[in-house]
Amino acid sequence: MFDGLQGKLTEAFRNLRGEGKVTEETLQGALRQIRLALLEADVHIRVVRPFITRVRERALGQDVLKSLSAPQQVFKIVYDELQALLGEEGQELRLTQQPAVVLLCGLQGSGKTTTCGKIARRLTENGRHPILVAGDLQRAAAVEQLIQVGAGVDVPVVAPEGEEGVLSLASRALKIARDRGHDTVIFDTAGRLHVDEALMGELKALVDQLQPEEILFVADSMTGQDAVRSAAQFGETLPLTGVVLTKLDGDSRGGAALSIRTVARVPIRFVGTGEKAEALELFRPDRMASRMIGRGDVLSLIEKAEKVIDKDEAERLAKRIASQQFSLEDLRDQLRAMRRFGPLSEMLNLLPKAGPFQGLDASMVDETEFTRIEAIINSMTPQERRRPEILNGSRKSRVARGSGTKVVEVNRLLKKYKMMRKMMKGAKGKWLRKAMGRGMPGLPGVG
């Protein structure tokens, strides 16, 4: 996420730090780099110009220029202004009616149908009883797709009957929700390849009939300024209450995220970070700005760890590490815990791109290696897993055959395991044991 923008901004800050003390001339060069970085990230020119002006005015203050830590202060100014551009923190849906109606709109291909399921799952976890309505009568298979999405999150779907129109479907869906005790109606709508009068007219009539409390515009963040222009056009016709940015995990530029609040005057409420139903998060401008400037998002990493890591298991493993009893079985358990995070690339992208993590990225990690390691460990006997020193040549050959690997790979695993145990006995081991006590997994095999 934001790799392109992050790399260029990091380079600008690195050049600024190399000057030692900031002067108007060096600041001008850094601002030029930042301006180009934002434009190449597809940030709207209406956003870039005032952004650079604000940073320049604040950075040219005498307190900054005379300070020995001027580069750090300029860094903070850019971070603050990025956060201001992104807008306020996302808010949960405000629903008071019975039933409350949430309407999703946007262009075709933006991810509306998938987002309907994600919102339904989120509301269910918060104690509500939603129902989904398949109101996209234009796109082939859209109704069937929503039915499958609903089944995936265990939420019922109201589908059109025969040649039923969207307004008739809306009335029937409200009646079904009242009769069956559903307190929330999530309405999927038809998208188009571009904004047109027929689309907007249909949506306006639907809004007038349903009177939704929340009207969310779903935008594909990877389309950059197209998403921003579409949000602005929809906002001129409908009383939008927020934006859901989808496919943010694949957005290397960040233009839509940085532009949409200013240009479309609509706050970002949620962001989609993957295909799974749980991959919908409240928008956090401070964390997103931190990632854009290379500081990572450790808070999100900790929150994710708290959800997927069993506290009792983490404490048990921490005690084993402290008593130097860390076995190959424990290593296997660690790998399984890491997999519950999802793709390792997502976890690495949340780490800062500086300090001990500088130069570490997802391209350095072979996810399939973890599968091979687990297969090798599973092919050992319980005694061999606890006392790997008994693994002689014949035993290693048997393990290699059983795991579909080669003896050299078995030896490589044993070498890494010995290095980990040695590390745990030293100063780094103290840090690792402390980290494990907090429920954070290690990174065996990385690098």
Question: What one-character-per-residue DSSP string does 241-254 give?
Answer: -EEEEE-GGG-SS-
pTM over 0.85: no
Q: Band of the pLDDT at 110, cuts 50, 70, 90?
A: confident
Do 285 and 424 sit in the same domain of this protein? no
pLDDT digit string, tens, across residues 207-259: 999 999 999 999 888 877 788 888 888 888 899 999 999 987 765 566 788 88
* Sign of the Cα pseudo-torsion (351, 352, 355, 361, in order): positive
Determine the average pLDDT of the residues in 169-192: 93
232 & 329 share domain = no
pLDDT category of residue 444 using cuts at 50, 70 and 90: very low
Q: Please give the residue that has the higher pLDDT: either 377 or 254.
A: 377
Contact residues for 230 (Cβ-Cβ < 8 A; gap 6+): 106, 107, 195, 217, 219
CATH number at residue 46: 1.20.120.140
Domain of 420, CATH number, reads 1.10.260.30
Q: Which residues contact 56 (CB under 8 A, 6 or more apart)?
A: 27, 31
Cross-strand pairs, 268: 243
pLDDT in tens, 120-177: 999 999 999 999 999 998 887 889 999 999 999 999 999 998 888 999 999 999 999 9
Task: Give the count of beta carbons closer than 10 Å to the beta carbon of residue 226.
Answer: 16
275 and 164 in a common domain: yes
Say yes or no: 228 and 375 in one domain.
Answer: no
Q: Residue 169's domain spans which residues? A: 100-295
DSSP string across 344-379: HHHHHHTS-SSGGGTT--GGG--HHHHHHHHHHHHT
Q: How many domains does the chain have?
A: 3
Last residue of a domain, one of 295, 315, 346: 295
139 or 406: which leads in pLDDT: 406
The DSSP H or E segment spanning 13 is helix 3-18
Give the span between the Cα atoms of 344 and 251, in whole angstroms: 17
Lowest mean pLDDT segment, chosen from 14-28, 123-137, 246-260, 290-304: 290-304
The mean pLDDT of the chain is 80
We report the CATH number of the domain holding residue 270 as 3.40.50.300
What is the DSSP-derived secondary structure letter of residue 193? S
The verdict on 106 and 79 lying in the same domain is no
| Domain-embedded: residue 91 | no
Q: Which of 272, 295, 318 is the last residue of a domain?
A: 295
DSSP 204-237: HHHHHHH--SEEEEEEEGGGTHHHHHHHHHHHHH
Looking at the fold, whether 206 and 305 belong to one and the same domain comes out as no
Does the pLDDT of residue 432 top 50, yes or no? no
Contacts of 66 (CB under 8 A, 6+ apart): none
At 258 the pLDDT is 85
Task: Report the relative pairing of strands 280-282 and 268-272 from DSSP bridges.
Answer: antiparallel
* 433 shares a domain with 365: yes
- Which pLDDT does position 438 carry in this prediction? 44
Share of the chain above pLDDT 70, in %: 76
Whether the bond into 382 is cis, omega within 30 of 0? no
Q: Which of 280, 295, 310 is the last residue of a domain?
A: 295
Contact indicator for 187, 206 with CB cutoff of 8 Å: yes
* 3-class state of residue 325 by DSSP: coil
Q: Which residue has the tokens 């993590």?
A: 357
Res. 297: pLDDT tops 60: no
d(C-alpha 164, C-alpha 153), whole Å: 26
SS (H, E, C) 138-160: CCCCHHHHHHHHHHHCCCCEECC
Write out pLDDT tens, residues 266-275: 899 999 888 8
